Amino acid sequence: MNSTLTIREYSEELAPHFRDINAEWISSMFRLEDTDREVLDNPGTKIIQPGGAILFVEHETLGIVGACALQKTGATSYELTKMGVRESARGHKAGEFLLSAIIDRAKALKADPLYLLTNSICAPAIHLYEKLGFQHDAQIMERYGARYQRCDVAMRHRNGL
């Protein structure tokens, strides 16, 4: 357990952090798409109400430094989405801490499949996903990948959760 990092559950009070953290990293490498804006501006209705989850990672001195969502996309399917960590928190293992917590939440939700969509330019993130059990999956790409223009990598968690 990392004593400087804690996981926080979604609340309306934390919603601005979800938007700001994700808009920051998406805009640094890509262009915000309409589907991004819709989710970032309405996380309660787009993620939480349909049965998903949003977790935040808080650093004891830096505050809320990361966010990640599980978006319900089918009866048991969940997309791990909108995972971002502030530049100021890089090197503190906040991303790995957050990813591990969101995988645990997906297990509790009995997610099958648990998948994610990303872009090959996000190599450090892809390496982290692989480290924590995600594998590249052509079927996931075919089924879900067309939603984002920037998506060229689709991965599924190997444990089937």
pLDDT, tens digit, 9 for 90 and up, residues 119-131: 999 999 999 999 9
Q: What angle do CA 46, 12, 69 make, to 5 degrees?
A: 45
Give, for 65, the enclosing helix (H) or strand (E).
Answer: strand 63-72
- Rounded to two decimals, what is the model's pTM? 0.92
Confirm whether 61 is domain-assigned. Answer: yes
pLDDT classification of 12: cutoffs 50, 70, 90? very high
- For residue 147, pLDDT over 90 is answered with no
Task: Give the end-to-end CA distance of the chain in Å, rounded to a whole number.
Answer: 22
Confirm whether 118 is domain-assigned. Answer: no
- Identify the domain containing residue 100 by its residue range: 5-113
**Cβ neighbours of residue 75 closer than 8 Å, sequence gap 6 or more:** none
> 42 in helix, strand or coil?
coil
* Domain total in the chain: 1
To the nearest whole number, what is the mean pLDDT of the chain? 92
Confirm whether 147 is domain-assigned. Answer: no
